[in-house]
Structure 1
């Protein structure tokens, strides 16, 4: 029997999944932050904890794992890999691969080892792999370095749109009443003064107000969501052109809460337009499987295994992935 381990290390949580070569789930693990850019020592401990739990649940030893694949937030540049490679070796793995978490999201959303992934959750990121195995990442470094959006930025767009509407620089918007209710203020002037005087931060959850207002045809919200889609579409097109995928048939996988929950095409529409202009044979798909599954499939492929249709179906129909996401001990 051959065993494979997938790790999804994010900025707040790390998930581990261990299977055999047929995709039968044998062990699961969970822990906290797996992004070394936030805290390298904590990330190392959390990655090791999640992996150890999955291996122990399967009744195996670490050396029984044929290949481990680590999809890690923050695995963006060579400077990151100079930290991550010894980190993983110190945990005790010898047969392993490391890639950014964008790529395991891509792998989880398609039956191919190539394609393009767009993430729009708290932040945004995009990456792809072509038929020749060449990889390219576009963005993921914040607004100063070219990015736009994600919940961690769109919440600010909500707040500033309300301010601009109040002071006359923007048209009236339904966001005003909904944001005041969320923050517990009677009027915009009080909210403005409170935030200015006390240095408050806009909660990330404020981004969801855009979807509620857009559903009621709020022009300001629709414009922000459309702009988010246009920016993601530019990122997808950039990846496609960099990798020479214009004439290929592949999937563009949409992942992250801003794309998989609440959007009624306001973001997706501009993405589709940009993708189909750049690569007419590409298909847009929404990720419905946990990214950690993509890490397992990547581990299998790194070991030279061809994944069968039965394995894809078995792992996609597995109903206990949500157990991984229970409150961390």
Structure 2
């Protein structure tokens, strides 16, 4: 009897589901909006799960009872107290197969690490980092920004600090000032700072590409900010590496998130920090949808070794998505 496996990636902006068979052939893909319970509540999580799973199953021509196992990566599932409400939400969609739920960073790790273990560092609006050793012992950071920097939000905060330092003469002049004034419409630095304080202007992590643009133009302040972010991400990774005790092993650090589109400007400082403590570690960009890791997690729940199927699953998923209307 063939086996069918469901992977689900519930995110803060979008959610994905993928169904594959026991040969690693991707059969059906579904998309939905946000499902992070911190944003939409557990009822919103249940709704996202129901919708995205139904879409993937319909695309695959299968029903829930045909599934052999399911793996879920859930954004917002960070702490033991959230496990039962998360499992209750999964239970509400009516699966009878074995399931497992992890933080969504973990399925990014599974999708990106060829050995099925290592460390994943997310750098989007914020940052997160989780790791598994060979025995699935877990290492992690808080994931809520307490002492963890390097995401787009903190990068923009550093840019604003640099602009303020120019005004107070604590720091040098920077081309970041002119760019941020132009985008907000503020006439000068005091007006910008006052507008931010009074709620006239709102500057988010969405401005991070602007910092990159200014750095590429040769601005030393912008360049130093991006390098700082890379080092911070590196220190986040080494914290988890130490927790797992894998400093002397060869493993992959999977880079997940849009901030890595800045390329070597941010990745090279990160690499230097990591390899100073884990010389055999290699950094790899995640090149497949994280939901692939959900399918691999599902396979593990019934004793299937997913590693031999991983590459084929990634390729077949890419082919499936290319055919999508």
Same fold (TM over 0.5): yes
Asked whether the 8 Å contact 1:17–1:293 carries over to 2, the reply is yes
Secondary structure of 1:128 counterpart: strand
Deviation at 1:274, TM superposition (A): 2.1
> Counterparts of 1:57-206 in structure 2 under 5 Å?
57-94=59-96, 95-142=98-145, 145-206=146-207
Asked whether the 8 Å contact 2:64–2:95 carries over to 1, the reply is yes
Tell me how far apart the structure 1 counterparts of residues 157 and 274 of structure 2 sit (CA, whole Å). Answer: 27
Kindly provide the CA deviation profile for residues 270-306 of structure 1, in whole angstroms up to 9, marking residues without a partner as x: 2212221222221111111111111112212222222
The count of aligned residue pairs is 321
Tell me how far apart the structure 2 counterparts of residues 188 and 138 of structure 1 sit (CA, whole Å). Answer: 36
Q: Does 1:321 align with 2:321?
A: yes
Deviation at 1:30, TM superposition (A): 1.2
Q: Does 1:9 align with 2:10?
A: yes
Asked whether the 8 Å contact 1:158–1:206 carries over to 2, the reply is no
Asked whether the 8 Å contact 2:299–2:305 carries over to 1, the reply is yes
Partner of 2:293: 294
Partner of 1:48: 50
Tell me how far apart the structure 2 counterparts of residues 100 and 197 of structure 1 sit (CA, whole Å). Answer: 36
Asked whether the 8 Å contact 1:69–1:299 carries over to 2, the reply is yes
TM-score (norm: length of structure 1):
0.91
Q: 1:55 to 1:42 in 2, by over 3 A?
A: same
Partner of 2:262: 262
Deviation at 1:310, TM superposition (A): 5.9
Q: 1:218 to 1:233 in 2, by over 3 A?
A: same
Deviation at 1:156, TM superposition (A): 2.5
Choose 121-130 or 36-45, whichever is displaced more: 36-45
Deviation at 1:199, TM superposition (A): 4.6
Unmatched segments (≥5 aa) in structure 2: none
TM-score (norm: length of structure 2):
0.92
Partner of 1:283: 282
Kindly provide the CA deviation profile for residues 142-171 of structure 1, in whole angstroms up to 9, marking residues without a partner as x: 2xx221131123222223322322332221
Unmatched segments (≥5 aa) in structure 1: none
Deviation at 1:320, TM superposition (A): 4.3
| RMSD between aligned residues | 2.0
